[in-house]
Amino acid sequence: MSLPKVAVFRKEHFNAAHRLNNPHWSDEKNARVYGKCNNANYHGHNYDLIVQVNGHPDPETGYVIDMKVLSDLIKEHVTDRFDHKNLNLDTEEFRDLNPTAENIAIVIYHLLREKIDPQFELKIKLYETERNFVEYPAH
C-alpha cells in the first residue's frame, strides 16, 4: 500500500509591469472596463506565486518532490521569464492575451504542467496584491 498523498507548496515571487487592454474594443470601452489598469504607460506589481504539487512521498527520501528541484523549475520556466519584465511587451505569452491575474495563473500552470511528472497534481496560486489573488484550477 502506498503512503498517503501530501500537498507540497513552494513560494516564489517576481516583479513585472503590465496593462489591461482589449485591442478589439474602443479606448473608451477599455478605460471603462479596466479603469486605472488600462493606463497606456503600464503600471506594475510584486507578484507572489505559490506552486502546489500533490503526490505520494517517496518512501526512500520522504519527499513528494525535492523543493530545490521544484524551486529551480519555477525559476527556469517562470520567474526568469517574467521577473523585471513588461508582460505585454517582453513576453510571448501575453502578446495577444490580457495579463489579468487569472490569465497569468493559467499560463504559469501550463508552463509548469509540461515540466512536472504527470503523476503529480499541480495548482497555482498567484497574488497580484495582498488583497487580490487567484487560484487555478479552482477547487
Which residues form the interface with its own copies (CB under 8 A)? 3-13, 15-18, 20, 22, 24, 33, 35-37, 39, 41-46, 54-55, 57, 60-64, 66-68, 83-86, 89-90, 97-103, 105-106, 121, 129-139
In whole angstroms, give the CA distance from residue 8 to residue 81.
23
In whole angstroms, give the CA distance from residue 32 to residue 25.
11
Neighbouring CB atoms inside 10 A of 66's CB total: 12
Tell me the closest approach of the beta carbon of residue 62 to its own copies, in angstroms. Answer: 4
Tell me the closest approach of the beta carbon of residue 37 to its own copies, in angstroms. Answer: 7
Confirm whether 128 is a catalytic residue: yes
Query: Which amino acid, residue 42?
Result: Y
Of the residues 43, 56, 84, 110, only one is catalytic, namely: 84
Confirm whether 84 is a catalytic residue: yes
Is the Cα torsion angle 53, 109, 128, 16 positive or negative in sign?
A: positive
In whole angstroms, give the CA distance from residue 105 to residue 56.
24
Which residues, listed in sequence order, are joined to residue 124 by a DSSP beta bridge? 51, 136
* Cβ distance to its own copies smaller for residue 76 or 137: 137
Tell me the closest approach of the beta carbon of residue 85 to its own copies, in angstroms. Answer: 6
In whole angstroms, give the CA distance from residue 65 to residue 124.
16
* Cβ distance to its own copies smaller for residue 8 or 77: 8
Confirm whether 121 is a catalytic residue: no
Catalytic residues: 37, 84, 128
